[in-house]
Amino acid sequence: MKAEIIAVGTELLLGQIVNTNAQFLAERCAGIGIDVYFQTVVGDNVERIRSALRIAAGRADVILCTGGLGPTLDDLTRDALGEHVGAELVIDEDGLRKIEAFFAERGIVMVESNRRQALTLAGADVLPNDTGMAVGTALQHDGKLYVLLPGPPRELKPMFERYAIPWLRANMNETLPLYSKSLKFAGIGESGLEHALIDLIEKQTDPTIAPYAKEGEVMIRLTSRASTEAEALAKMADVEAEIRRRVGDHLYAEEDVSLDAVVVRLLRERGATLAAAESCTGGLFADMVTSHSGSSEAFAGGVVCYSNAVKQSLLGVPASLLAGDGAPGAVSAETAAAMADGARARLATTFAVAFTGVAGPGPADGKPAGLVYLAVAQEGRPTEVRELKLSGSREIVKLRACRAGFYELWKRLK
């Protein structure tokens, strides 16, 4: 089935916010056999929204609308769809009760406009909003499937996953839905992974094999059409086994989850602790660790030691490594190792990771941009250092260095 995503909101046209909803929806649609052919952004104007709906209905089977379901007068998506399909707006009583309870529990007077968030279309199915107030709408009309979703991602994502996907599956014309499974890899690039699997990719039929790349991570999505998920997984089993045989050493997850999230989980499961010593990464590694709930169980803390003085005073890096004739200098394998050892000793952790290098954009102290030394100290094991030669902007070099740090930890933890 072909789909079009219509994102409603003048703020999107003005560039005030980024349309991350379209990326999320396109990815999820692909996983259930819906191909997104078009994406449209339209402002908060009922005539222009109606025009966008009319165009979408002429070229797509599924029309997903995001935004414009709030309480204000410029939230017009429901109104436009109602005019487009000839359906009146009606109140969803369950949604209204939830909205009224929200205000009552907080002792706030509910203004009349908040009732708009409980509006849906006559004859449509209501999509509950578990994380907000505006209900979603799912409607089949003239052979087309329309889904209205709220704009805030924290409301849209769970609504789409929990309610819209099952509704779409139940109303799709295809006799057999698509099911997908994600395999996540680290420590290998997209081209390297494709080279290892090229014959499987070229011969694919069902299941299909599709590679996707992010910074420092690569994903393979296996997809099969079947009557049930169990049947689809059975059809994928042989291909998955062959992929594991070839590149299983790099496989870190069987779901679309980040490497840093997996490392934090493994640390917690093993009762291990972690410290960080960061120079060129400026605290980015610690920020990535602490972005995950439960990280306090494993992460003791970190030191952002940008200057040599801090490297010496807080981590005990010998002055002889940092300055003087013949000294390795701050950007060196020796200094990285000393930083990691110092962080682990001072914070009394199982592991410590250290980064020192030149983030760029230009060289520093005679060292080229992108040169980073990554050290991992571990209780009962010699400290190891990797030399990284990274490319990209300052931000990308920092991110790639951190990804490499998580990969080294994952190899030890797995």
Number of folded domains in the chain? 3
Q: How high is the pLDDT of residue 16?
A: 93
Which among 178, 374, 349 has a CA at the least distance from the CA of 272?
A: 349
Peptide bond just before 361 cis, omega within 30 deg: yes
Find the CATH number of the domain harbouring 81: 3.40.980.10
Instruction: Kindly tell me the sign of the dihedral angle through the C-alpha atoms of 237, 238, 241, 242.
Output: negative
Q: In this structure, are 157 and 272 located in the same domain? A: no
Q: Is 303 exposed, middle or buried (0-12, 13-18, 19+ CB in 10 A)?
A: buried
Which among 119, 4, 122 has a CA at the least distance from the CA of 53?
A: 4
Mean pLDDT of the 75-89 span: 97
Q: How high is the pLDDT of residue 240?
A: 97
Tokens of 313: 């005073």
Segment 262-298, tens digit of pLDDT: 999 999 999 999 999 999 999 999 999 999 999 999 9
Tokens of 323: 């300055």
Identity of the residue numbered 67: G
Q: Which residues contact 78 (CB under 8 A, 6 or more apart)?
A: 68, 69, 89, 119, 120, 121, 137, 148
Q: In this structure, are 61 and 208 located in the same domain? A: no
Residue 35 pLDDT grade (very low, low, confident, very high; cuts 50, 70, 90):
confident
In the block, tokens 């200098």 appear at 329
Q: In this structure, are 69 and 129 located in the same domain? A: yes
Last residue of a domain, one of 227, 253, 279: 253
Query: Are residues 401 and 413 in contact, defined by beta-carbon separation less than 8 angstroms?
Result: no
Q: In this structure, are 6 and 144 located in the same domain? A: yes
Q: In this structure, are 131 and 229 located in the same domain? A: no
Q: In this structure, are 67 and 216 located in the same domain? A: no
Residue 248 pLDDT grade (very low, low, confident, very high; cuts 50, 70, 90):
very high
Residue 175 pLDDT grade (very low, low, confident, very high; cuts 50, 70, 90):
low
Residue 108 pLDDT grade (very low, low, confident, very high; cuts 50, 70, 90):
very high
Last residue of a domain, one of 253, 287, 302: 253
Residues of the chain above pLDDT 70, percent: 100
Q: How high is the pLDDT of residue 13?
A: 94
Find the CATH number of the domain harbouring 341: 3.90.950.20
Which among 323, 306, 328 has a CA at the least distance from the CA of 315?
A: 306
Task: State whether residue 397 is helix, strand or coil.
Answer: helix
Q: In this structure, are 86 and 155 located in the same domain? A: yes
User: How many C-beta neighbours within 10 Å does residue 4 have?
Assistant: 22
> What H or E segment, with its residue span, contains residue 139?
strand 136-141
Q: How high is the pLDDT of residue 174?
A: 64
In terms of residue numbers, what domain contains 357? 259-413
Task: Say what angle helices 333-347 and 308-315 make with each other, to 10 degrees.
Answer: 40
Segment 120-141, tens digit of pLDDT: 999 999 999 999 999 999 999 9
Last residue of a domain, one of 171, 194, 211: 171
Residue 227 pLDDT grade (very low, low, confident, very high; cuts 50, 70, 90):
confident
Q: Which residues contact 203 (CB under 8 A, 6 or more apart)?
A: none
Q: How high is the pLDDT of residue 278?
A: 98
Residue 256 pLDDT grade (very low, low, confident, very high; cuts 50, 70, 90):
confident
Q: In this structure, are 193 and 270 located in the same domain? A: no
Task: State whether residue 307 is helix, strand or coil.
Answer: coil
Helices marked H in 106-186: 153-159, 165-171
Identity of the residue numbered 184: K
Q: Is 392 exposed, middle or buried (0-12, 13-18, 19+ CB in 10 A)?
A: middle
Q: In this structure, are 249 and 265 located in the same domain? A: no
Mean pLDDT of the 2-31 span: 93
**pLDDT exceeds cutoff 70 at 118:** yes
Segment 306-342, tens digit of pLDDT: 999 999 999 999 999 998 888 999 999 999 999 999 9
In the block, tokens 């190899």 appear at 411
- 233-260 burial by CB neighbour count: b if 16+ within 10 A, else e? bebbeebbeebeeebeebbbbeebebbb
Q: In this structure, are 349 and 392 located in the same domain? A: yes
**pLDDT exceeds cutoff 90 at 215:** no
Q: In this structure, are 159 and 91 located in the same domain? A: yes
Q: How high is the pLDDT of residue 228?
A: 87
Residue 1 pLDDT grade (very low, low, confident, very high; cuts 50, 70, 90):
confident
Q: How high is the pLDDT of residue 365?
A: 86
Mean pLDDT, rounded, of the chain: 95
Find the CATH number of the domain harbouring 207: 3.30.70.2860
Q: In this structure, are 9 and 152 located in the same domain? A: yes
In the block, tokens 């640390």 appear at 267
> What H or E segment, with its residue span, contains residue 76?
none
